[in-house]
Amino acid sequence: MRRIRIERRVESPVDRVPECRLSAPVLSVAHAPASRHPRRPQSPSAGAKDPGPGRSGRPIPRGWRISTGPGDPRPTGRLFATAKAFNPLARDETQIFRALLGGQHMIRGFSNPDIRQILQDSPHLKDITDPRRQSAKVTRIFNRCHAHGLIAKIPHSRRWRLTRHGRVAMTASIQLRDVQFPITHMKLTA
């Protein structure tokens, strides 16, 4: 007969979601009671305690904050990370904006390889030789633009599109760098 050893971690105030570690593949998490399942939400009628600020009662990761709805003092429970701001006068970020604003992406949108090919000789990807690391770098650029609402995902595909806000903000940034800043600089130095 086969022995099955079940270990259960002691619940602490910081980690309110108990985990069940099983040593045999016979039992799975699906056999746990419904209120103890880590991915299944608890029903409010089950008399369960409020899990707290984070998802499933876990502590909020460092650098994350809780979003609150307008006029609602209570946290909504959705977590999001802050993203680094864009500098509209920086050459590197203007190159990103020019790559995203390219006219060839207006109809079908753009994907990681499309932007990677355009940014191949830019300072963003010049020092990176591994294609997987280049892809990861472009993905981080996409996530940063998405966090600021400049681009949006096309559903059920690996492609992205510009938002109306993104088109206006990126075009204004390029206009500021290429036209307004040189004119202002010449006026101040003259």
CA torsion 6→9→11→13, rounded to 10°?
Answer: -160
User: Per residue of the chain (190 residues), what is the pLDDT tens digit?
Assistant: 555 555 555 444 544 444 444 444 433 344 444 445 555 555 555 555 555 554 455 555 555 544 445 554 545 555 555 788 889 889 999 999 999 998 898 899 999 999 999 999 888 888 999 999 999 999 999 999 999 999 999 999 999 999 999 999 999 999 999 998 889 888 998 7
At 36 the pLDDT is 54
At 83 the pLDDT is 82
Question: H or E segment at 136?
Answer: helix 131-147
Other beta carbons within 10 Å of 107: 7
| Those residues with Cβ within 8 angstroms of residue 171's Cβ, 6 or more apart along the chain or in another chain | 101
Please report the domains of the chain, with CATH numbers, ordered by start residue: 91-189 (1.10.10)
Strands 75-81 and 151-153: unpaired
Distance CA 107, CA 118 (A): 17
Contact status, residue 63 vs residue 81, Cβ threshold 8 Å? yes
pTM of the model: 0.58
Nearest to 160 by CA among 124, 84, 108, 117: 108
50 to 36, 37, 42, 102: CA distances (angstroms)? 14, 15, 10, 48
Distance CA 162, CA 160 (A): 7
What sign results for the dihedral spanned by CA atoms 55, 59, 62, 64?
A: positive
